[in-house]
Amino acid sequence: MLMGWMASRTGRWTRILAGASLVVGGLARGSGAGRLIALVGLVPLVGGTLDFCLMGPFFGLPLKGEAIRRKVGRIGEDSLLPHPPLFMERPALLH
């Protein structure tokens, strides 16, 4: 499902990178159209960073990414960075 992927960690990173590319590319143009492209690029950049998806309500889903993931069954992908293991397998030796 498209919305499940967009709310996932990979989908969020894709939106962040695409939005940043639009912002940088638009500002590099240095024209009015470029500024408009940069402004449009802020939507996926901020949406991916703050974990909301404006397309959710169009598909009958919530706006918040956490609620979308819960509804489509993608639990455990809340943060942008994967969590390291909580416990080390072997204790560290201090010399």
pLDDT band at 87 (very low <50, low <70, confident <90, very high): low
Q: What pLDDT does 65 receive?
A: 85
Average pLDDT of the residues in 9-29:
93
pLDDT band at 6 (very low <50, low <70, confident <90, very high): confident
Q: What pLDDT does 15 receive?
A: 93
pLDDT band at 71 (very low <50, low <70, confident <90, very high): confident
Q: What pLDDT does 39 receive?
A: 96
* Top-confidence residue, 9 or 21: 21
C-alpha of 48 from chain center: 3
What are the helix (H) ranges across the chain? 2-7, 9-29, 32-50, 65-72
What is the CB neighbour count within 10 angstroms for residue 42?
Answer: 14
On whether the CB atoms of residues 56 and 70 are closer than 8 A, the answer is no
pTM given for the model: 0.75
Q: What distance in Å separates the CA atoms of residue 95 and residue 68, rounded to the nearest whole number? A: 49
Average pLDDT of the residues in 29-49:
94
Q: What's the sign of the alpha-carbon dihedral 37, 43, 48, 50?
A: positive
